[in-house]
A = this chain, B = another copy of it.
Amino acid sequence: MVQKANSGHPGAPMGMADIATVLSSHLNLNPANDKWLNRDRLVFSGGHASALVYSLLHLWGFDVSLPDMREFRQFNSKTPGHPEYGHTHGVEITTGPLGQGIANAVGFAMAAKYAQNLLGKDVITHKVYCLCGDGDLQEGISYEACATAGHLGLDNLILIYDSNSITIEGDTSISWSENVKKRFQAANFEVLEIDGHNFDQIDKAIVTAKSCDKPVIIIATTSIGKGASTLEGSHHTHGAPLGEEEIRESKIKAGFNPDEKFVVPYDIKGAFDKLIKGVEAENAWKESLSQETKEKIKKLQNPDFDSIVYPEFEEGTSVATRASNHQILNAIAKAIPGFLGGSADLAPSNKTELKGLGDFPNGRNIHFGIKEHAMAAMTNAMNLYGLFRVFSATFFVFSDYLKPSARIAALASIPQHFIWTHDSIGVGEDGPTHQPIEHLSQFRALPNFYTFRPADATENVESWKVALKMKSPTAFVCSRQGLQVLKNERAYGNVENGGYLLKKEKVLQLR
């Protein structure tokens, strides 16, 4: 694929192929229904390993064909350079920028925990797997996400760390010399160490991880470009094609016909067909559900936003939009059982507490801690889980800390609601480090991202009515200070036009 495209990353796919093969026998997936609620989630945090992702999706029976794979990294193909959610069948979430995928996996595991809380541990039994590399672990977002996973004791999360000791600039040791085992023990993970090319060790580690009572990281030592005849272990395999001759020699070494390209031997395809649980697994799960559970799931999957009783605000009174937003959040939560969220340790200031609804994972108030970036990436995944609508919150000025994940939400059309309060120099006396200036322009310049900055409490309500029905991320930029509730001449429903006439003025006649 990489050679045909004449660009891309062969090293990681070859290095992780052994792990992926063994993992295939553990996954509960139904290629006929990529939205099956109790499927295992698999996140490839290093999106550059896309050649492996597409190969697996093909072998597992998703709608990725050999001709699709010939079109790898070509414009409009199903097989772009980094996997994209909503574009390729079976891709759980858009990763790409390093570290995002680990936080996404933690978010999927959090959503599954809350689903267990609502539906029962016997109903939601799946695991969340994440394949990641050195680059993912070096990014701060992965630290934040793993600290959260350890804190919440997510026993449904299994990270598999492809430790190949190679980065683009050379050996990992030129910039990183951490004791990864100790780091993850500090975060309350179970740590397993294996040879990532030993099938037996891989299998045993996954079996152990599946029954562990806390999150697990499997540190798998691998060779980048495994199987390349002369380049195995070299950083030259990371981001460029191996070359025709190297591929030819490698195929011969592996016992393949070097003249055949884009071929899956019949016995290999057959073996994978047997591994994948498929329709039968989903049907067995469905049959195990009570009628009550089925109805609960249906209600969560189809939230009735029209049932929300929104607050009303008296004309002429002064209401900060963070305060009106607080009333609205609570009104939504009251009507919609799958509506939850929280703040990066600013709930009292952001006014995001869902009153009387308890703390996550037993309740709906998520204490994200001071980890904005992971918060947004985890919330992206929670919104894609299939049952929940999840918001996140911080000061507007700290939206900078989570911008990379807001961008992914826009790219992948994830309907996360971002609550950003203290919207201007009205933040008060904290000074310029806490005053957003360029942020409004910044997010309005981001395609497929919808930034609402309501002028008053009433417009805040109208904005939410629009936002809840959108399939894209939305941001609510709210004031700390009181804003006068304007005279209510406007017609409701006009917010979705983007602009409307609040009050008629004399029209100036231009000559």
Contacts and interface: CB of A to CB of B under 8 A. Distances in A.
B404 A432 contact: no
Contacts of A84: 431-433
A374 B47 CA distance: 22
Contacts of A346: 168-169
B434 A445 contact: no
A140 B138 contact: no
Interface in A83-108: 84, 94-98
Interface in A357-409: 359, 367-374, 397-398, 400-401, 403-404, 407-408
A232 to B, nearest CB: 20
A283 interface: no
A438 interface: yes
Interface in A51-101: 73-74, 80-82, 84, 94-98
Contacts of A404: 398, 400-401
Contacts of A97: 397-398, 400-401, 433-434
A244 to B, nearest CB: 19
A101 to B, nearest CB: 11
A83 to B, nearest CB: 9
A147 B176 contact: yes
Nearest to A100: B433
Interface residues of A, number: 85
B429 A349 contact: no
A134 interface: yes
A169 B348 contact: yes
Contacts of A181: 186
A180 interface: yes
A196 interface: no
A437 interface: yes
A196 B346 CA distance: 26
Contacts of A74: 429
B174 A140 contact: no
Given A167-B345, A441-B441, 12 more contacts: A82-B433, A84-B432, A94-B433, A135-B370, A138-B369, A147-B176, A150-B177, A175-B368, A175-B370, A179-B188, A183-B183, A403-B403
The 10 residue pairs across chains A and B that have the minimum distance between CB atoms: A140-B140, A96-B433, A175-B369, A182-B186, A143-B143, A73-B429, A438-B445, A81-B431, A441-B445, A183-B186
